[in-house]
């Protein structure tokens, strides 16, 4: 679909943005999502790389996955049921969340367990710096260790947290034993699984 984009240099131009991507048919998109270059657009006037967000469907049949990616600016509207979502699709909000989810699925991990681990990491981050607005992201697996990056604890610094896979397995067992217990229950908001659901705006 054609979209009009305005760069910071005030140059306005049209660009074709796909509405859907099939990761089995376009395997290059997997790496582009994971390394943050997916749908990066270069301004033809000043050569500035731009990363606009538009609604996108990601299909990955081999992983039994169908994601609807909503732009970050639709987050509050989604929580207020003002954004239409596709039936049978899991929702992620923002391209960084889409990249995170693809990395989780690529490693054969359960998204809700990963989001629970992020929750525990953010609890520790809050103890370290209660004033920080920290975020946690899954960045991969190396053997028996899962790596997460925690942003926002200090300016221009990223904390690297390495979680033993045994902790993942223990958390996964807790989830399967009682999926309605916390924090698992609050990590899901309809079709959206995310630690961000614990921070969602209060609805009137």
Instruction: Give the integer Cα–Cα distance in Å for 202 and 73.
Output: 17
Alpha carbon separation from 148 to 11, 142, 155, 160, 183 (Å, rounded) = 37, 11, 18, 6, 19
Return the bridge partners of 69, or none: 56, 92
**Residue 12 CA, distance from chain mean position:** 28
pLDDT of residue 128: 84
- Joined together, the tokens standing for residue 142 give 């190396």
Q: How many CA atoms lie within 13 A of 64 on its CB side?
A: 3
Give the angle 17-56-116 at the CA atoms, nearest 5°: 145
Residue-by-residue pLDDT tens, the chain, 204 positions: 788 889 999 999 998 888 999 999 999 999 998 888 888 889 999 999 998 888 999 999 999 999 999 999 999 999 999 999 998 999 999 999 999 999 999 999 999 999 999 999 999 988 888 887 889 999 999 999 999 999 988 877 889 999 999 999 999 999 999 999 999 999 999 999 999 998 765 544
Cβ atoms of 106 and 125 closer than 8 Å = no
Order of strands, sheet of 65-70, starting from the edge strand that comes earlier in the sequence = 20-22, 56-60, 65-70, 90-93, 192-193, 188-189
pTM: 0.89
C-alpha distances out from residue 104 to 16, 99, 135, Å: 28, 9, 16
């Amino acid at each position: 679909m054609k979209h009009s984009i305005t760069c910071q240099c005030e140059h306005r131009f049209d660009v074709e943005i796909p509405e859907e991507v099939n990761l089995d048919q376009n395997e290059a998109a997997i790496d582009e999502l994971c390394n943050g270059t997916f749908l990066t657009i270069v301004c033809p006037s000043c050569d500035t790389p731009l990363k606009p967000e538009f609604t996108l469907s990601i299909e990955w049949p081999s992983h039994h996955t169908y994601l609807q990616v909503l732009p970050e600016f639709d987050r509050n509207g989604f929580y207020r049921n003002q954004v239409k979502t596709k039936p049978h699709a899991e929702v992620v909000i923002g391209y960084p969340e889409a990249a995170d989810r693809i990395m989780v699925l690529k490693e054969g991990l359960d998204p809700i367990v990963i989001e629970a681990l992020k929750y525990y990491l953010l609890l520790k981050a809050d103890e370290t710096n209660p004033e920080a607005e920290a975020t946690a992201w899954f960045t991969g697996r190396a053997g028996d260790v899962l790596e997460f990056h925690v942003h926002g604890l200090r300016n221009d610094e990223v904390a690297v947290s390495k979680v033993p896979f045994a902790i993942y397995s223990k958390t996964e067992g807790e989830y399967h034993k009682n999926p309605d217990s916390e924090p698992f229950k609050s990590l899901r908001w309809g079709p959206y699984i995310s630690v961000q659901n614990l921070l969602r705006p209060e609805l009137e």
